[in-house]
Structure 1
């Protein structure tokens, strides 16, 4: 069983989450369809300035504003997680969970076995749950598998992001 500490948001957990998200999402200045066919721009943003991204809007974004958008969304996601997850977690664990929720969606994350196990303080078992979220339309996606391995490693304190 792992030791657990921090409950308040720190720049460390948010910065780690943003770095992990950006490293796996990759930057695209123009909208594109992601592996699920969802219009996306920047670092995996499906909304831009409150509007749903389409394949034609926004026309383009720059990397600085895209990273800012990720930071704002990651903070929103982390705040929601911290008000819903009952366990006290270390900054690296919040960062990993935030990256996961950013990618799969907050509702899916909160309804997951992963979060249930975190709340039951079964952190090693919870960490293994990351690896089950590696598919799109029933097919294993190597990029998702790589991301889940990185999130799991960060959650377990075995990664520097």
Structure 2
């Protein structure tokens, strides 16, 4: 299985292409479609990347994250939308965080509803809740659940209450 155009479109929507290196909310130099490394070398200030280079690098880097998802998810029956959402999440949080995540455990236990409920918990940058990351997690959750229009444009006002409700329900 490979990430679909829909999955790539969702990822690109939230990463957005940047030609010049910039510091992301986690204070890391980033370029292109959210790359912090290119060919194993850390992105640094003053780096520049054309859109063509960024698109080629994205395909190359996605293969790495697809392999992480394929190895971490032990069950055979996930659909394309679930796979795309998991690859997008893995791309954003990194392979080691993804492998250790409760989302992986829940999917491997075929608890898809439980997995849907906790995408939102991965919405912090530099230990602070980020509305941008929350929008992304909500969109990934929506794609995972195969909802028709996964992109979330506005974060609900009660988003923190929702997170607290989840934590309470798990006690």
TM-score, length-scaled by structure 2: 0.82
Map 1:91-110; keep pairs closer than 5 Å.
91-110=80-99
Aligned residue among 32, 38, 51 for 1:63: 51
Map 1:146-157; keep pairs closer than 5 Å.
146-157=135-146
Q: Unaligned 5+ residue runs, structure 1?
A: 1-8
Q: Unaligned 5+ residue runs, structure 2?
A: 151-171
CA contact (8 A) 1:14 1:71 kept: no
- For residues 62 and 121 of structure 1, the distance between their equivalents in structure 2, rounded to whole angstroms, comes to 41
Aligned residue among 121, 130, 141 for 2:110: 121
> Per the alignment, in what secondary structure is the counterpart of residue 89 of structure 1?
coil
86-95 or 68-77: bigger deviation: 68-77
Q: Which has the higher contact order (CA 8 A, sep 6+)?
A: 1
Aligned length: 149
TM-score, length-scaled by structure 1: 0.86
Please provide the CA RMSD for this pair.
1.4
Aligned residue among 13, 18, 28 for 2:8: 18
**CA-to-partner distance for each residue in 1:56-79, whole Å, 9 max, x for gaps?**
3x3x11112212211221122112
**CA-to-partner distance for each residue in 1:70-120, whole Å, 9 max, x for gaps?**
122112211221122112210111100000000001110110001000000
